[in-house]
């Protein structure tokens, strides 16, 4: 019994050596990404934190790489442009109206300009404190008036040339119908101061009962259009209506020297059928 106990004590004090590790054929296989990341997790975390800090600093500093240059713009009020265009047309019409009412003497305007330039030269030679700025402003205003008058004069010449060309084209189409028209309806007209000529005098087809004479009072503009027609005397309802309709469709020559509302008469003599 004692011998067995001694043997066991000797075995406890001297452990047996570890068995050598068995070498298996798959021990040398490559590690996958997951194992590598797990083994290097500390380095990966530090790197990720460093990149996050750099990104935060980049965004916080508002660094712009390859930014576009700043552009400036402005808004245009189209309604205001239309109002300005309407105002410009109104001023041009006003200039033409004054041009027609008060003809411009270009010789006197040239004399005025010469006098203003002479005064300006005298003031420039004066060394006693003369206000040359006021004289310069007056000269600029005179030049501006001259320019506006010149433009109005040139527009008037252009309009006169256009009217003359329209007259020539009208004359080429055929002669004016200024004579009395013979037939079932005889037509005559009167437009004086200045004398106007008919370009297209409508002769109505007579379809009324009986006969008679109808005098129609007309108003003609400078373009030769009949803007108003009304019966002055004579005729029954049928003849009056026919005469007024024919008068409104009639056209006279273009005359820029005529008044804007040139009044006259057209006489229709209806011959019974």
Architecture in CATH for domain 185-270: 2-Layer Sandwich (3.30)
Cis-peptide into 188, omega within 30 deg: no
Per-residue pLDDT at 110: 46
pLDDT above 50 (res 61):
yes
Distance separating alpha carbons of residues 99 and 10, to the nearest angstrom: 143
> With bands split at pLDDT 50, 70 and 90, how would you rate the model's confidence at 141?
confident
Q: What is the pLDDT of residues 235-268, one digit of tens each?
A: 888 888 889 999 999 999 888 888 989 999 999 8
Q: Is 67 helix (H, G, I), strand (E, B) or coil?
A: coil
Predicted local distance difference test score (pLDDT) of residue 67: 55
**pLDDT at site 170:** 54
The pTM is what? 0.36
Q: What is the pLDDT of residues 193-232, one digit of tens each?
A: 888 888 888 888 777 777 888 999 999 998 889 999 999 9
Provide the pLDDT confidence category of residue 1 given band limits of 50, 70 and 90.
very low
Shortest CA distance to 236 belongs to which of 273, 202, 216, 208?
A: 208
Each domain of the chain, given as residue ranges in start order, spans 88-171, 185-270
């Amino acid at each position: 019994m004692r011998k067995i106990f001694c043997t066991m004590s000797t075995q406890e004090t001297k452990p047996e050596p570890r068995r050598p590790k068995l070498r298996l054929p798959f021990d040398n296989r490559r590690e996958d990404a997951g194992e590598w990341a797990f083994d290097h997790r500390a380095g990966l975390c530090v790197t990720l934190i460093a990149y996050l800090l750099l990104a935060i600093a980049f965004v916080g500093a508002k660094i712009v790489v390859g930014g576009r240059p700043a552009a400036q713009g402005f808004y245009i009020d189209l309604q205001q442009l239309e109002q300005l265009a309407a105002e410009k047309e109104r001023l041009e019409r006003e200039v033409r109206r004054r041009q027609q009412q008060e003809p411009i003497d270009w010789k006197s305007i040239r004399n005025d300009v010469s006098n203003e330039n002479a005064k300006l030269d005298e003031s420039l030679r004066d060394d006693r404190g003369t206000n040359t700025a006021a004289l310069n402003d007056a000269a600029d205003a005179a030049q501006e008036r001259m320019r506006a008058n010149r433009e109005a004069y040139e527009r008037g010449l252009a309009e006169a040339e256009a009217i003359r060309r329209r007259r020539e084209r009208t004359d080429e189409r055929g002669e004016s119908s200024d004579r009395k028209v013979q037939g079932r309806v005889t037509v005559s007209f009167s437009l004086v101061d200045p004398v106007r000529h008919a370009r297209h005098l409508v002769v109505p087809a007579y379809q009324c009962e009986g006969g008679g004479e109808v005098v129609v009072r007309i108003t003609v503009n400078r373009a030769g259009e009949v803007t108003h027609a009304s019966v002055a005397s004579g005729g029954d309802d049928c003849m009056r209506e026919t005469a007024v309709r024919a008068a409104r469709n009639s056209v006279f020559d273009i005359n820029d020297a005529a008044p804007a509302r040139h009044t006259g008469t057209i006489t229709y003599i209806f011959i019974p059928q």
